[in-house]
Amino acid sequence: MTAVRRAVADDVPRAAHVLAAAFAGYPWTDWVVPPDDRAARLTELQALYLTHAVRHGVVLVDEALNGVVALVPVDAPPPDDATWHAVAALHGDRLERLGAAEPPPPPPGAWTLAALGVLPAARGAGLGSRLVAAALADVGDVPVVLDTSDPRNVGLYERHGFVVVARADVPDGPAVWSMVRPVLRPAGSSAP
């Protein structure tokens, strides 16, 4: 079992490849990323998002770089204009689809679990779960939100304390489950 560590900028190209491979065939990705050169587009999109997350959030990888998880605080600064223009170009005529499943407002102080992916060849050994657990421990006692369009992911996240708070059935697109892991409180503590 390899250790989980914080990613650095030099890890972004490999981590982007991991996420692109993990999201191949993912319902939301297939719907929002055009099919022509999808793998290359997805790798470039993930590199843009991961670069932002490394700067402003928490990105964890295992030592073998078979898996990656990225979280960003809801109040992180938005990506710069050049990044947004690159994102728009990569989504092409499907850019408008990004806003089709509007999630509920996040709780104050929330972080967003923006991406979790494990290379297909490394799946089934618990790496995704280890990455989620490590990332949640890293950000601490704060609410964490996420969206998933794969119903198989709902159970994984529920095992880590997330609950479904909404489901959006996108016309001509995939269903999207919005989930939140509420603030955790140690046993015996009282809520403010």
Kindly state whether residue 153 falls inside one of the protein's structural domains: yes
Domain annotation covers residue 146: yes
Q: Residue 133: inside a domain, yes or no?
A: yes
pLDDT of residue 1: 66
Does the residue 125 lie in any domain? yes
pTM of the complete model:
0.91
Q: Is the dihedral of CA 4, 26, 41, 78 positive or negative?
A: negative
Q: What is the pLDDT along the chain (192 residues), one digit of tens a residue?
A: 679 999 999 999 999 999 999 999 999 999 999 999 999 999 999 999 999 999 999 999 999 999 999 999 988 999 999 999 999 999 999 999 998 988 899 999 999 999 999 999 889 889 999 999 999 999 999 999 999 999 999 999 999 999 999 999 999 999 999 999 998 665 444 544
Query: Does 190 map to a domain?
Result: no
- 112's enclosing H/E stretch is strand 111-118
Cα–Cα distance for residue pair 30/40, rounded to 1 Å: 13
Q: How many CA atoms lie within 13 A of 18 on its CB side?
A: 29
**pLDDT for residue 124:** 85
Decide if 177 is inside a domain. yes
Contact 127, 66 (CB under 8 A): yes
Angle between helices 81-91 and 38-56 (to 10 degrees): 160
Range of the domain at 91: 4-96+106-181
Rounded Cα distance between 154 and 61, Å, is 21
Q: Is residue 143 part of a domain?
A: yes
Q: Is residue 187 part of a domain?
A: no
User: What is the domain-level CATH number for residue 18?
Assistant: 3.40.630.30
Domains in the chain: how many in total?
A: 1
Q: What is the pLDDT of residue 191?
A: 47
